[in-house]
């Protein structure tokens, strides 16, 4: 079975695991959105990662990560919340790959999935931070770190 075939065959189990992990995190905006919305978002992200792996093309993941950053920033999500969705999906994917991919092919499989998710997380964070730097955002207020120092 190829990696894209494996991802498609295990799609439901992977999304189930990621959804359960995100639910356990009790993140305010995901709880407010409800389980159906949370799951739809995870499914969309999974599909983008699977497509990136199958096509060896990061462009759709990168574009969607930028959109997610803009949408979630405007909705008041913390960067931590948004990154959490990527992280739980990554963990569920890695667990599946480690359990099911033969050792000889595991490095490539993890590399492809990790590259797709890593590129998405990087673009998400860069876009979010760029937006936050234009506005005063309490989560990015570093003044408290420098209080009482010669520089602060």
Where do the structural domains in the chain lie, given as residue ranges? 3-134
Q: If you count them, how many residues does the chain have? A: 152
Residue 129 near residue 79, CB atoms below 8 Å: yes
Both structure tokens of 127 = 């876009």
Task: Give Cα separations from 43 to 7, 19, 40, 137 (angstroms).
Answer: 12, 9, 5, 30
Helical spans, DSSP H, in the chain = 3-9, 11-24, 28-33, 35-55, 59-74, 79-100, 103-133, 143-146
Residue 23 pLDDT > 80, yes or no? Answer: yes
Residue 142 pLDDT > 90, yes or no? Answer: no
Mean pLDDT of the chain: 90
Residue 18: per-residue pLDDT? 97
82: nearest Cα among 120, 43, 51? 120
Task: Identify the residue with better confidence: 119 or 136.
Answer: 119
Residue 127 pLDDT > 70, yes or no? Answer: yes
The CATH architecture of the domain made up of 3-134 is Orthogonal Bundle (1.10)
Residue 9 pLDDT > 80, yes or no? Answer: yes
Please calculate the CA angle 37-47-118 and round it to the nearest 5 degrees.
100
Residue 147: per-residue pLDDT? 61
The stretch 128-150 carries a mean pLDDT of 66
């Amino acid at each position: 079975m190829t990696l894209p075939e494996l991802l498609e065959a295990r799609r439901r189990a992977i999304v189930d695991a990621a959804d359960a992990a995100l639910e356990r995190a009790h993140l305010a905006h995901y709880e407010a959105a409800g389980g159906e919305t949370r799951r739809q978002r995870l499914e969309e992200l999974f599909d983008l990662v699977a497509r990136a792996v199958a096509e060896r093309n990061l462009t759709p993941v990168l574009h969607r990560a930028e959109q997610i950053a803009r949408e979630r920033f405007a909705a008041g999500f913390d960067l931590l919340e948004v990154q959490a969705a990527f992280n739980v999906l990554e963990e569920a994917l890695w667990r599946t790959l480690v359990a099911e991919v033969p050792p000889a092919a595991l490095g490539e499989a993890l590399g492809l999935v990790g590259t797709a998710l890593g590129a998405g997380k990087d673009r998400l964070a860069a876009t979010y931070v760029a937006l936050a730097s234009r506005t005063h955002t309490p989560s990015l207020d570093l003044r408290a770190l420098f209080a009482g120092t010669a520089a602060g």
